[in-house]
């Protein structure tokens, strides 16, 4: 199994766990915090929109959770 398959598998497992366990899953809160930080940055920075900032913030926090 190559590294990309492993990352995809971890991401799928993490998203599935977050969907099933909600706020009880250890990744949910950090990803929501990342989304909030990104949204604030998107609202403040003139080039970045709020939805883009939210998505980038959540994506970055999620990436930090699944990479090894």
Domain range annotation of the chain: 3-66
In this predicted structure, the answer to whether residue 68 has a pLDDT above a threshold of 80 is no
- Please give the pLDDT value at position 1: 56
What tens digit of pLDDT does each residue of 40-52 get?
999 998 888 999 9
- Residue 41 tokens, joined: 């940055």
Cα 59 to the center of its chain, rounded Å: 4
**Rounded to two decimals, what is the model's pTM?**
0.83
What whole-number distance in Å separates Cα of residue 16 and Cα of residue 38?
Answer: 23
Task: Encode pLDDT of 3-42 as tens digits.
Answer: 667 889 999 999 999 999 999 999 999 999 999 999 999 9
Those residues whose C-beta lies under 8 Å from the C-beta of residue 43, and which sit 6 or more positions away, are: 50, 53
Alpha-carbon gap, residue 27 to 42, rounded angstroms? 22
pLDDT for the residue 67: 85
């Amino acid at each position: 199994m190559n590294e990309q398959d492993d990352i995809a598998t971890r991401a799928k497992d993490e998203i599935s766990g977050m969907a099933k366990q909600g706020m009880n899953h250890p990744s949910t809160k950090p990803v929501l915090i990342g989304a909030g930080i990104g949204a604030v940055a998107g609202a403040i920075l003139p080039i970045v929109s709020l939805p883009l900032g939210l998505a980038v913030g959540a994506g970055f926090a999620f990436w930090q959770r699944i990479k090894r």
